[in-house]
Chain A
Amino acid sequence: MKKRKIKNSIIAAILILILAVICIKCLRFESVSEYNNSDVNKGKIIGNVTLSVDCSTILSNYDNLDSKLKSKKYVPDNGIIFSEKKCELRKGDTAFDILQRNLKDKKIQMDYSGSRKSKNIYVKGINYIYEFSCGKLSGWMYKVNGEFTGNGCSEKKLADGDKIEFVYTCDLGRDVGNDREEGIGK
């Protein structure tokens, strides 16, 4: 009996050790100031793109908005969270990279799921306005050169001079001019 107990505790200790090593290896802890000061500008500059983040559709659906978010802090008067601005395009950048880098620069909150490696990033929320915050059909979408691309924002590499717009829809894209949703059911 005693031998078995010792054996079990050794196995448990090894498991905990492995878990701890994985935690330390894979997780990078940063304090808020460290995060804000960390540099994300890596890679060669190969051109310029413009970025804007817009949630003006909320203004016409203001009743549906979460009562907590009904404040100028979250939804500005003109609905523009990030006004159109020229940003540098670095090698290998996708629309998501541009968004993340510039929002971090301006300290605007952004939340996403998925990973860059598997190219399946989905932007859940910008500036505390999340999917479903303004009705059941609401969420963030993005356009490149005025067109909805139909794929994820971390999938397609950008070209010099592209115009990226992140827009908030309250009606599955219909109110921001996306007619692609007919194809979704197929």
Chain B
Amino acid sequence: MLEFRNYHPIVIFTYFILMVITTFMSMEPGILIISLVGAVILRCADNGVNINRSVLYYIILFLIITISNPIFSHNGETVLFYINNFAITRESILYGMSAAVMIIAVILWSMSLSDVMSMDKFLYLTGKVMPKLSLILCMSVRFIPFYKRHAREVSDVQKAAGIYSDMDIITRIKGRLRIYDSVLGWGIENSVETADSMKARGYGSGKYTPYVKYRFKKSDIAALIVIIMYCIVLAYFTVIGDLKFSYYPVIDGICLRSKKVIFYLAEFLFALFPLQINIRSGGKAWNYLK
């Protein structure tokens, strides 16, 4: 568990949004790899190092995106070979790889965000300004995991009752469809009920007062200063155009002697910012080695 969790919601939210923006802003491979490494380290620190099926899922995603780009894009000077008279170039494969790294990094950052930023924190941030929109957002964000959990419950019950457990494939598909049917009906009813009960309790009618009070502490101010500093660095490098990187028709070289190294360093330090907080706050290592 990260110490970062206990920070003010604004700090957490801006930090993750900034990391996602940095990742989306440039196709520069160095920035993307640093972002990916940062996201992986953060998730490992938060959940413990466990290599399971999700790693396989990300590898498959990486391969699919990498392969699909050269199928549609034939730009680039270095032709490797031809398929059906279409050139497969090194540039388009590298572009596909960068896009894949970018997408995986953004997925990982968003997963960290949804882990650290629980829904009540999100409601705390946006509930005052736009109560209806934030309720819809909250419900739609929780939609898939919530339904997945419910579907598993239903299927467990069916299994325990001995229905559709070990039969041929068609009967099993029929069973799945029945579960899907019931979950869908339940889900629609449930969301209407949630909205009704929120309304009955007066949500959005007056001033929104959250259950948990988040106070803006000294450590929050320090973190905000770091975030603003990173913002300035990011804006500076965007304005002078150092983050631009193009792949076609010839891939840009990565010059390690230019000013870009400063940005790499800043990005790396910022990506590991939550871990640095953990180290500084008295080495509560047992917390996440548990």
Contacts and interface: CB of A to CB of B under 8 A. Distances in A.
Q: By DSSP majority rule, is chain B's interface helix, strand, loop, or mixed? A: loop
Interface string B80-94: 111111010000000
Closest 6 CB pairs of A and B: A128-B249, A30-B82, A35-B82, A111-B74, A27-B83, A28-B84
A35 B85 contact: yes
A34 to B, nearest CB: 8
Contacts of A74: 249
Interface residues of B, number: 18
A31 interface: yes
A184 interface: no
Interface in B148-187: 166, 169
A75 B163 CA distance: 70
B233 to A, nearest CB: 24
A151 B82 CA distance: 28
20 contacts: A1-B166, A4-B166, A27-B83, A27-B84, A28-B83, A29-B81, A30-B81, A30-B82, A30-B83, A31-B81, A31-B82, A32-B80, A34-B82, A35-B82, A66-B246, A68-B248, A68-B249, A128-B75, A128-B77, A130-B248
Interface string A10-22: 0000000000000
Interface of A: 1, 4, 7, 26-32, 34-35, 66, 68-69, 74, 109, 111, 125, 128, 130
A7 B170 CA distance: 13
B82 A111 contact: no
B262 interface: no
Contacts of A29: 81-83
B250 interface: yes
Contacts of A26: 84
Contacts of A128: 75, 77, 248-249
Given A7-B169, A30-B81, 11 more contacts: A1-B166, A4-B166, A27-B83, A30-B85, A31-B81, A32-B82, A35-B81, A66-B246, A68-B248, A109-B77, A125-B75
A68 B81 contact: no
